[in-house]
Structure 1
Amino acid sequence: MARRERTAALKDTLAYEAARIMVDQGLTDFEHARRKAAARAGVRDRRNWPSNEAVQEAILTHRRLFLGDAHFLERRELRRHALSAMRVFAAFSPRLVGAALTGTGDLQGGVQMFLFADRAEDVIFALIERNIPWQEGERSFRYPQGQRASHPEFRFLAGEVPVSLIVLPSDHLRHPPLDPVTDRPQRGASVAEVEQMLAEEESDYRFEMGR
């Protein structure tokens, strides 16, 4: 086997091991999972480590293989929770991001979305109006040209599902932060796009069940 093929095979092996670690241990930190996988395999050279995207794809494969229909049903339920929350905060142009969007998440990990407002207080008022108790914090994001900025985050439970609202300035709708997995602009999915996603998934599931 040529060196390039060996390297590719090693990266695949580490990707699936990192994915297994993340799913089994409920981790969300890709770097931590990759380090664990590499340590178990005795691979110190980071050039042989898989990318975050490769690990993310391996998580999807792992969940499909080992969870089967349960993976689809939980993903659908999570996205329904996301859509419900997005409709509540429709005035802030919500965008679904993170694991609920990519399909790698679960109900325990919850929903993450961007809201766009020039004043974080407006989101606080919306929470108060709906009698939603929340916890406040900050999230740091990277932007192009190496910039980094912190933004307000409001967390609450919708039933038993954690929801995270990250408030970005209005003009960031066109200039969002970088996705921590892909390093591309994290544009997310709008209400209409999540609705379409759910409709297509439901259609595909009915087709598979009817085969």
Structure 2
Amino acid sequence: MMRELGLVELDHGRRKAVERLGFSNKRCWPDNAEIQAALESEYRLFQPHTQRRVTTLLREQALAAMQTFAEFEPRLVGSSVSGTASLEQGVRLHLFADDTRPIVFRLIDTGIPWQAGDSQHRYADGSRQTHPTFAFVAGEVPIELVVLPDQARRNPPLSAISERPERGLDPQAVERLLSEREPEQADLAF
């Protein structure tokens, strides 16, 4: 249902499915990891080539943004890492800085129109912290920059899927993923 309707948020998709199926017992509801696994299966079975192209586009835009914000040690996180992101979901990067002003100056210097916001994240110690975000669109891909404090390098927020610290991918890891995909795409051209 999430794939067919283009739903982005796991919780929204879960609630829509529960509503449609009429399950009231929350213990029967799938957790985020189960939903993520089902999405991965759906994409592999029904849209492997399209999803591969979308994933490649997202990762290419992520890498370009990572290069623009390299001094903030960007990490690619979220569903574009696993390959289940849609264009609507776009790319999420974690940047590390105790002060957001240098990031704002970089956005201004590069002429990127952006919107500021906040997002809440859970940590392994049970705490919840709100961090500033900056959102913009690169080509047709939405990019969200989540600015974490420097100390979060050692203790990043938890993934909503795995409930484990979301360390993400550095630019070199994203480059490796992109280079691994090139032979598959070359095969599709024949």
1-side partners of 2:143 and 2:12: how far apart? 23
1:94 aligns with 2:83: no
- Choose which of 111, 123, 134 in structure 2 pairs with 1:131: 111
More helix by share: 1
- Structure 1 unaligned residues grouped into runs of 5+: 1-19
CA RMSD of aligned residues (A): 1.7
Question: After superposition, where does 1:89-168 map in structure 2 within 5 Å?
Answer: 89-168=69-148
Partner amino acid, structure 1, of 2:141: V
Q: 2:86 and 2:18 mapped to 1: Cα distance?
A: 25
Aligned pair count? 190
TM-score, L = length of structure 2: 0.93
Q: Tell me the CA shift for residue 145 of structure 1.
A: 2.5
Q: Percent identity?
A: 42
> How far apart in 2 are the matches of 1:209 and 1:138?
41
- Indicate the SS of the match to 2:168: coil
Correspondence for 1:41? 21
Contact 2:58 2:80 in 1 (8 A): yes
Distance in 2, matches of 1:172 and 1:203, equals 36
**Unaligned segments of structure 2, at least 5 residues:** none
Larger Cα Rg: Structure 1 or Structure 2? 1
Name the CA distance, whole Å, in 2 between partners of 1:209 and 1:32: 34
What letter matches 2:60 in structure 1?
R
SS of 2:125 mapped into structure 1: helix
AA in 1 matched with 2:163: D
TM-score normalised by length of structure 1: 0.84
Q: Report which structure shows greater RCO (CA 8 Å, sep ≥6).
A: 2
Match of 1:171 among 126, 141, 151: 151
